[in-house]
């Protein structure tokens, strides 16, 4: 699980471990990753941590290879790594734009490639699930989302392309695209009463997504129930994309 120590990634890691999976928590914050590993193992689950920067492609490839060698392969990839920097269009800097696309799109491409190589060599299929956003489909009014929207929109097409290329190897590739989720990353949305009110007014179900609302669909795509589902993006958004 890339970004496995983040809010959504942590929920997915805990849920998968509770179901008996050996979970590899991948990310750049070694302390957070190890703390989650300790919590999972204390609860009786199996987990390990690997540390790398998502922008360091060789390190990421080496981490995937090491995890596969240590644990006898990789059945599932859950790509939950992501970043954001809000800049109005007229103020977007090349440095910030590149950083957002490197983490949200380029790293997604190459971690999926590394895992796919392992899975193809093993010959037993697998599943990839990428975490996106409703911003893969919708622009953001009154906020500087050029980098974020373009990175998530690109990832939506990458999911489809990987799905059709990997189908013959028995590897299903899908995406889960939530709206704002109650995590520390969303604090700027949730702590301001006026922003929070406007957000709730836009969501037909009338509430913020919890991490469990996202973890459930991810587990659905990893389960046998979706053996004939690939190349799909599931919008977990309380109805936002149904109204816009």
Residues known to be catalytic? 148, 152
Contact present, 27 and 56 (Cβ < 8 Å): no
Long-range contacts from 57-66, C-beta under 8 angstroms, 24+ separation: 57/106, 57/107, 57/110, 60/107, 60/110, 60/111, 60/114, 61/110, 61/114, 63/26, 64/111, 64/114, 64/115, 64/118, 65/114, 65/118
125: left (phi over 0), alpha (psi -120 to 50) or beta: left
Residue positions counted in the chain: 244
Rounded distance, CA 178 to CA 134, Å? 6
Contact present, 228 and 170 (Cβ < 8 Å): no
Rounded distance, CA 198 to CA 201, Å? 5
């Amino acid at each position: 699980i890339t970004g496995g120590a983040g809010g959504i990634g942590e929920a997915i890691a805990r849920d998968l471990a509770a179901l008996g999976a050996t979970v590899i928590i991948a990310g750049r914050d070694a302390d957070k990753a190890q703390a989650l590993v300790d919590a999972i193992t204390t609860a009786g689950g199996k987990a390990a941590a690997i540390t790398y920067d998502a922008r360091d492609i060789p390190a990421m490839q080496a981490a995937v290879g090491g995890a596969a060698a240590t644990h006898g392969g990789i059945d599932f990839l859950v790509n939950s790594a992501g970043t954001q920097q809000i800049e109005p269009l007229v103020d977007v800097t090349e440095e910030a734009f590149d950083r957002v696309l490197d983490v949200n799109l380029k790293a997604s491409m190459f971690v999926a490639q590394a895992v796919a190589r392992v899975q193809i060599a093993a010959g037993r299929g697998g599943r990839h699930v990428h975490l996106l956003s409703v911003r893969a489909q919708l622009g953001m009014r009154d906020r500087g989302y050029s980098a974020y929207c373009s990175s998530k929109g690109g990832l939506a097409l990458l999911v489809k392309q990987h799905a059709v290329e990997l189908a013959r190897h028995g590897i299903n590739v899908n995406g889960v695209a939530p709206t704002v989720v109650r995590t520390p990353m969303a604090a700027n949305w949730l702590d301001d009463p006026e922003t929070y009110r406007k957000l709730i007014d836009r969501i037909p179900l009338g509430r913020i997504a919890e991490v469990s609302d996202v973890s459930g669909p991810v587990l659905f795509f990893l389960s046998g129930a979706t053996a004939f589902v690939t190349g799909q993006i599931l919008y977990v958004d309380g109805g936002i994309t149904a109204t816009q």
